[in-house]
Chains A and B, each alone.
Chain A
Amino acid sequence: MSAAIAPKRSLLARAADDRMVVAVALALVATAAVVAGGGLSGYRVNTIGQLACFALLALALDLIWGYAGILSLGHGLFFAIGGYVVGMHLLERSVAETGVTPDIVQFMGWKALPGWWGPLESFPVALLAAMGVSFAVAFVFGWASFRSRVSGVYFAIITQALVYVAMLLMFRNDTGFGGNNGMTGFQVVFGVPIQDPAVTKGLALASVLVLLAALVACRLLMIGRFGRLLVATRDDEVRLRSLGYETLRLKLKVWCLSAVLAALAGLLYVPQVGIINPRVLSPELSIEIAVWCAIGGRGRLAGAIIGAVLVNAVKFALSASLPELWPFVLAALVVVVALIFPNGLLDLGKWKPTLLSRSRALEARDATP
């Protein structure tokens, strides 16, 4: 065993082996410090907060795609679960503290918010509910799929159908979550009026810190035994199964963990944008999450964060000035990454501009992703 030969090193020391992860972690600490320092405009702070949420979402997807080789094109579903739960929580709090009837009560034709939303008024309950519901949905769907050994492209398109169906469901008014309009008009966050700059700052700071914590935790998990078994599952599941490992459980664990992280991202995202509606369930958004990972580079955690931040920063910049251009830029980015940088922009360092020669192609890190 390699452990017997190599000198024993602490887990943290090994976690720091990937320079990129260290750099991203340091950058996150610095961002947190800048946000806390208060030198930035409210708009900037809000942007940073949103980017951190997208990065967390990408990190969640990287766990299953990069490490377990399972591509989900439906992660928007878990993001939306977190978002809708926190939306219900914020509406309950708003009614409790200001007494103002939210719009959703009127356009849904209700007299008051549904009684069963009541417990969500407490944040710990809402947090548990978001994690619990996303875990439960992921568990049932994952168990059904992995048990029948649905994998690869099949799994990707079934998850895509899942998020599509969820979107259609949430667009209906009868489903009871605000239909097309979704939920909006939140008044207070943790007892502070939502217009207060402190709310923006606090939420952005929380998002960055949760992202940092998730990055460190995932990194520690992935360099451990669990992470190595996952990579082995990705590279040769049949062999691992022959060796006596229960790959169903491995995949199910990482799948549920990923879903819960995505729900956390949604939970942090919705208070910052002030609205949740079925559009976060659109199949396009879910594919975009995979695109962030692909562009940043899969299987290294840091890549997902870099990809999500880069792509969304460009998107934000373009949406303000040239919104028609964005789809073309995104399509071009994906094609370039797919053809030239199989491992995403993390390959940039290794790339030599010999575009036309056959041998130039950077080898994909995993032959059968």
Chain B
Amino acid sequence: MRMGRRLGLLLLALAAAWHSPALAHDRAQIATQACSGAAGLSEAAATLTAGASSATPEDAAWAATLTGALLDKTIRCGARASTIESPSGFIDAATLAKAAPADGSAPVLSLKNRPLVETARAAATLFAGATAGERAAALRALERRAASLPPELFETAAAREPDAGLKEQILGVGQSALLNSSDVAKRIAAIERIAAQPSRRAETQIAALKSDPAYAKEPVFAAAVDAGLASIDRWLRVSSVANTLYNGLSFASILFMAAVGLAIIFGLMGVINLAQGEFIMLGAYVAYAVQETLRAVAPGLLDWYLILAIPVVFLAIAAVGVALEATLVRRLYTRPLMTLLATWAVSLLIVNLVRVGVGTQNLQFVTPSWLAGGKLLVGDFIVTWNRLFAIVFAGVTLVATWAVLKRTPLGLNIRAVTQNRAMAGCIGVPTRRVDMMAFGLGSGLAGLAGLALCPIYNVNPQMGSNFVIDSFMVVVLGGVGTLAGTVVAALGVGQINVLIEPLYGAVAAKVIVLLMIVGFLQWRPEGLYAVKGRRK
């Protein structure tokens, strides 16, 4: 019963404080109250919070000092006066003047009144905080309880805030407080402003208002709540579509990099390299080696290992590809089916060498500071930097590959041999050398796919096998001989996978993609962009 009465008193004090904004703090009374036991402490804290917006700057500083002392237990509650132990000696708790230390001890903060005191300190610091950082920290502490705080607190604080960025933030947090304002017009405005920044949190916040008495009584208010919810819902749906497309795009980027090498090699030599997945894996491992070397040699550059690794990965994996071509693939060029088996054997060899040599565990990659996090665009659609890296990287790779194929002598030779090997040989194109270079190019591109995967995927010896079959599908769908086919097919396979996944699951997505490709081949057996020629 006593608890109930105290709580009632507390609410009364809060309400009284809200409606008498002009009052300054009665310092002596509050200081005494704070030392008068648990109930008094709660009341003092509530009074301080409620009065924070109307307090003078000196009062705000005093409130911050007092609540800080309460939390840090540097206050001594004496019989007549209380003192605070500050760096410059003991000061009176009410006047902050120098005083003789009182002989009592600090009041004990219970689980119940500690948050109240913390809120009071944050409210005071929001006004009295010396630096923007302090005030921002106070705002974060208030944010969680914003809905139970007087809206004037944020309005006044925003009006006094010199830092423009922080001012915006204070106003944003203030919206939650305004939702509970007694003025319906202010509440409606707050709903509209919250709805303008749609998120799951905003949705729950506004949906909670449906059980508010005003929802049943005031048609204007009800209309505003409904409109706000509808608007948030619409934006959330937009952002979920955007999320799906974005994930599909990043998956397609990886697929493109894995498949473009396969497609070039297949177009040129009629050979599918089943070790392509393992080249992806090796690319990731070389990137890891670069990271570890930088960590040992130049820790300052560690943040940029992904960029520095690009040439290393490309050259290393291209060298592996050239070696594979020269020792194995070249001797089997009239027997493409045997090449499948031979390159499969190589993939088996690579996986097991890595497994024995490095181990089967996932590699630990440092996330560079510039890849961590992302930007919230709309609703809960976040453009994460690591996926954006993969997409941009794939875009750059596409342009570079296009430039190599269209603007360099090697590209000219590759295209010539792809179109007519015998005739290209007759006019002096060194076809075997072109094969070797193209195989190196394709392998290097697979290695780059592995590099792009480092920040977003588990890197272990088995990782390649998860990509190789999807890459095949891209090659089959896109046809050979054109980059455009690979790009469109990678986008198609990537997006279909991601679009179907939430509806029917990842497995169904793969089944449907395969069925679509088999069906598609009925219509266009040579893939999307077949090079015109005689059908075999």
Q: For B335, B348, B351, B514, which residue has the most chain A Cβ atoms within 10 angstroms? A: B348
In the complex, the answer to whether B337 meets A369 with C-beta atoms within 8 Å is yes
In the bound complex, CA of A144 to CA of B328 (Å): 33
A70 nearest in chain B by CB position = B337
- Of the 9-residue stretches B209-217, B338-346, B435-443, which lies at the interface with chain A? B338-346
Whether B356 contacts A154 by the Cβ 8 Å rule is no
Interface residues of B in 506-521 (CB under 8 A from A): 506-507, 510-511, 514, 517-519, 521
Number of interface residues of A (CB under 8 A): 48
- CA of A290 to CA of B342, assembled, Å: 11
Q: Does A335 contact B (CB under 8 A)?
A: yes
Q: Which residues of A contact B510 (CB under 8 A)?
A: 164-165, 168
Per-residue contact bits, chain A 244-267, to B (CB 8 Å; 1 contact, 0 not): 000000000000000000000000
Answer whether residue A210 sits at the interface, using C-beta atoms and an 8 A cutoff.
no
B507 engages A157 (CB within 8 Å): no
Q: A71-B337, A150-B521 are in contact. Are A157 and B328 (CB under 8 A)?
A: no
Indicate if the CB atoms of A339 and B328 lie closer than 8 Å: yes
Whether the pair A331, B346 counts as a contact (CB closer than 8 A) is yes
* Contact across chains for B521 and A283 when beta carbons are under 8 A apart: no
| B522 interface hit (Cβ, 8 Å) | yes
- Stretch in B69-77, B264-272, B447-455 touching the partner: B264-272
- State which of A150, A152, A290, A324 has its C-beta within 8 Å of the C-beta of B341: A290
Residue A153 CB within 8 A of the other chain:
yes
Instruction: Tell me whether A164 and B352 are in contact (CB under 8 A).
Output: no
- Residues on the A chain within 8 Å of B112, using CB: none
Q: Which single residue of chain A is at the shortest CB-CB distance from B524?
A: A148
Do A238 and B536 touch across chains, with their CB atoms under 8 A apart?
yes
Q: Is B331 an interface residue (CB 8 A)?
A: yes
Q: In the complex the two chains form, what is the Cα distance from A328 to B348 in whole Å? A: 8
In A127-169, the 8 Å CB interface with B consists of 141, 144-145, 147-154, 156-158, 160-162, 164-165, 168-169
CB distance from A258 to the nearest CB of B (A): 16
The reply to whether B338 and A158 form a contact with Cβ atoms under 8 Å apart is no
> In the complex where A161-B472, A283-B469, A328-B349 touch, is A149 in contact with B337 (Cβ < 8 A)?
no
Q: Is A338 in contact with chain B by the CB < 8 A criterion?
A: yes
Contact residues of B: prevailing secondary structure = helix
| Minimum CB–CB distance for A45 against chain B, Å | 31
A294 at the interface (CB under 8 A from B): yes
- Measured CA separation A151–B337 after assembly (Å): 11
Within 8 A of B (CB), among A69-110: 71, 73
A145-B521, A238-B536, A342-B335 given as contacts; is B341 within 8 A of A294 (CB)?
yes
Question: CB-defined interface of B318-355 with A at 8 Å, one 1/0 digit per residue?
Answer: 00000000001001101111111110111011011000
Mark contacts of A168-187 with chain B using CB atoms, 8 A cut-off: 1 yes-contact digit, 0 otherwise: 11011000000000000000
User: How far does the alpha carbon of A144 sit from the alpha carbon of B519 in the complex, in Å?
Assistant: 8
Q: How far is the CB of B464 from chain A (nearest CB, A)?
A: 12
Whether B337 contacts A156 by the Cβ 8 Å rule is: yes
Bound-complex Cα distance A160 to B274 (A): 11
A327 at the interface (CB under 8 A from B): yes
Give Cα distance in the complex from A145 to B520, angstroms.
11
A252 to chain B, nearest CB (A): 15
CB-CB contacts below 8 Å: A27-44 with B: none
Taken together as a complex, chains A and B put the C-alpha atoms of A144 and B338 apart, in Å, by 24
Q: Which of A7-55 contact B (CB under 8 A)?
A: none
* Residue in A141, A332, A334 whose Cβ sees the most chain B Cβ within 10 Å: A334
By the criterion CB–CB under 8 Å, are B338 and A338 in contact?
Answer: yes
Say if the beta carbon of A216 comes within 8 Å of chain B: no
Task: Determine if B349 and A338 form an interchain contact, defined as CB atoms under 8 angstroms apart.
Answer: no
Q: Could you say which residues of chain B place their CB within 8 Å of the CB of A161?
A: 469, 472-473, 514, 517
How far, in Å, is A176 (CB) from chain B's closest CB?
13
A165 to B507, CA, bound (A): 7
Q: Chain B: interface residue count, which band?
A: 35 or more
A327 to B335, CA, bound (A): 23
Main secondary structure of the interface of A (DSSP, over half): helix
Q: Is A330 an interface residue (CB 8 A)?
A: yes
Contact A149 B476 (CB under 8 A): no
- In Å, the complex CA distance between A266 and B332 comes to 32
B375 at the interface (CB under 8 A from A): no
B40 close to chain A: CB less than 8 A:
no
* Shortest beta-carbon distance from B334 to chain A in Å: 6
Q: Interface centre among A158, A327, A331, A342, by most B CB within 10 Å?
A: A331
A201 to chain B, nearest CB (A): 35
Contacts of A330 in B (CB 8 A): 345, 348
Q: Is the CB of B525 within 8 A of A150?
A: yes
Q: Answer whether residue A113 sits at the interface, using C-beta atoms and an 8 A cutoff.
A: no
Contact bitstring A187-212, B, C-beta under 8 A = 1, else 0: 00000000000000000000000000
CA distance A261 to B171 in the complex (A): 75
Contact in complex: B340, A328 (CB < 8 Å): no
For residue B80, CB closer than 8 A to chain A, the reply is no
The answer on a CB contact under 8 Å between A369 and B338 is yes
Q: A158-B476, A324-B356 are in contact. Are A145 and B340 (CB under 8 A)?
A: no
Contact (Cβ within 8 A) B507 A172 = yes
Closest to A65 in B: B337
A193 → B minimal CB distance (Å): 37
For B350, give the chain A residue with the smallest CB separation. A331
Q: Smallest CB–CB gap between B345 and chain A, Å?
A: 4
A168, A172, A342: residue with the most chain B Cβ atoms closer than 10 Å: A168
- Cβ of B340 and Cβ of A331 under 8 Å apart? no
Contacts A169-B507, A294-B338 given; indicate if A157 touches B272 (C-beta within 8 A): yes
Q: Write the residues of chain A forming the contact surface with B, with a CB cutoff of 8 angstroms.
A: 65, 71, 73, 141, 144-145, 147-154, 156-158, 160-162, 164-165, 168-169, 171-172, 238, 283, 287, 290-291, 294, 324, 327-328, 330-335, 338-339, 342, 364, 367-369
16 intermolecular pairs with C-beta atoms under 8 Å apart: A71-B337, A150-B521, A153-B266, A153-B271, A156-B272, A158-B476, A161-B514, A291-B345, A294-B338, A334-B342, A334-B344, A338-B345, A339-B328, A342-B335, A342-B338, A369-B338
Taking A150-B521, A331-B352, A339-B328 as given, write out 15 further A-B residue pairs in contact, using a Cβ cutoff of 8 Å, ordered by the A residue number.
A73-B340, A148-B525, A153-B336, A158-B476, A161-B517, A165-B511, A169-B507, A171-B507, A287-B274, A291-B345, A330-B348, A331-B346, A335-B342, A335-B346, A342-B338
- Give me the interface of B with A, judged by CB distance under 8 Å: 266, 270-272, 274, 328, 331-332, 334-342, 344-346, 348-349, 351-352, 356, 465, 469, 472-473, 475-476, 505-507, 510-511, 514, 517-519, 521-522, 525, 535-536
